[in-house]
Amino acid sequence: MARRRQWSSGGVAAAAVLGLLSVLCAGHPAPGGFPLQPRFYEHTCPQMQAIVGAIVARAHAEDPRMAASLLRLHFHDCFVQGCDASVLLDADGSGRFVTEKRSNPNRDSLRGFEVIDEIKAAVEHACPRVVSCADIVAVAARDSVVLTGGPGWEVPLGRRDSLTASLSGSNNLIPAPNDSLPTIIGKFANQGLDVVDLVALSGGHTIGDSRCVSFRQRLYGQNNNGQVDRTLNPAYAAELRGRCPRSDGDQNLFALDPASQFRFDTSTTTTSSP
């Protein structure tokens, strides 16, 4: 079975995951170049965060996976052009851009769009043409972490939404499951983040699932030899192989942290040998 490892500074590390997401969320700042601030909608849409929280809570109650999906949606947005909601855009027929939804990291994988749409509709009803989708995605990610037992944080607000998307940015900037460590470090460095930030943000994987296609190479030829990656716990590798065949089953889901799949805690699971 996989070992569980406690972070030496668990609460601090968990909070760092959240704070760093806020750092990433510069996006397109408020009009006039004013810095983002948690009370941006205090007078123009004071009920915004309550609306987001209520809808996220309902979505999470209906589908416990949704919390991890909304957190991931936020991360995939922030790593491409900043936290600007570009990941939500569909192609408009003008040929100006190709939707990021079709990128390798997002296609048949990224979820939660319908929850954001529901939130946006409710917020528009309460405060027409005031709240950006980028801010909704950021608050929904925070609320998802809180709902699963993680710490909360103040979300800086006032982002403006992008009018374009970047398929190439989504393909090339978001860390991939089969990237080497130097490549991942480089992608974080492109965002102004260092190795400590990388480790902290990786802690977000304490909730959610992984698809078979994302780690199959470790089961059937990490080193181009057709063998299981030797750093994997043999018993756990055999368990994974049972439901992740060499071909087919791409969408089969596996808990990232089997012991607490839906709990944002300070334990992670490692598949290395004892």
Q: Label residue 15 by pLDDT band (50, 70, 90).
A: low
Confidence of residue 5 (pLDDT cuts 50, 70, 90): very low
User: Is 100 labeled as ligand-binding?
Assistant: yes
- pLDDT band (50, 70, 90) for residue 227: confident
Q: Tokens standing for 154?
A: 């103040």
For 223, phi then psi, to 5°, come to -110, 30
Examine the pLDDT at 1 and tell me if it is beyond 70.
no
Instruction: For the chain, list the domains and their CATH numbers.
Output: 3-269 (1.10.520.10)
- Cβ-contact 79, 73 below 8 angstroms: no
Is residue 205 part of an annotated ligand binding site?
A: yes
| Average predicted confidence (pLDDT) for the chain | 86
pLDDT of residue 11: 44
Of these residues, 28, 60, 74, 76, which one is catalytic? 76
What spatial distance separates the first Cα and last Cα of the chain, rounded to whole Å?
Answer: 10
Position 133 scores a pLDDT of 97
Is 84 annotated among the ligand-binding residues? Answer: yes
Q: Compute how many other C-beta atoms are within 10 angstroms of the C-beta atom of residue 134.
A: 27
Query: Which amino acid does the sequence have at 82?
Result: G
Nearest residue to 252 via CA among 237, 241, 238: 241
Identify the pLDDT of residue 7: 36
Helix axes of 113-126 and 66-78: crossing angle, nearest 10 degrees: 80
pLDDT tens-digit map of 42-89? 999 999 999 999 999 999 999 999 999 999 999 999 999 999 999 999
175 is in an annotated binding site: yes
The pLDDT value recorded for residue 199 is 87
Question: For residue 30, what are its two tokens?
Answer: 């408020």
Q: Is 158 annotated as a binding residue?
A: no
pLDDT digits (tens, 9 = 90+) for 188-216: 999 888 898 898 888 888 999 999 999 99
Percent pLDDT > 70 in the chain is 84
Q: Taking residues 238-243, what's their average pLDDT?
A: 94
For the entire predicted model, the pTM comes to: 0.87
What pLDDT shows up at residue 225? 75
Instruction: State pLDDT tens for residues 120-171.
Output: 999 999 999 999 999 999 999 999 999 999 888 899 999 999 999 999 999 9
**Amino acid 61: pLDDT:** 97
User: Per the annotation, does 265 bind a ligand?
Assistant: yes
DSSP-assigned beta bridge partners for residue 232: 272
What is the DSSP track for the chain?
A: --EEEE-TTHHHHHHHHHHHHHHHTTSB--GGGPPPBTTTTTTT-TTHHHHHHHHHHHHHHH-TTHHHHHHHHHHHHHTTTSSSSGGGPPP-SSSS---GGGSTTTTTT---HHHHHHHHHHHHHHSTTTS-HHHHHHHHHHHHHHHTTPPP-PPPB--B--S---HHHHHHHS--TT--HHHHHHHHHHTT--HHHHHHHHGGGGSSEEEHHHHHHHHS-TTSSSS--TTB-HHHHHHHHHHS-SSS-TT-EEESSGGGTT---SEEEE-B--
Is 28 a catalytic site residue? Answer: no
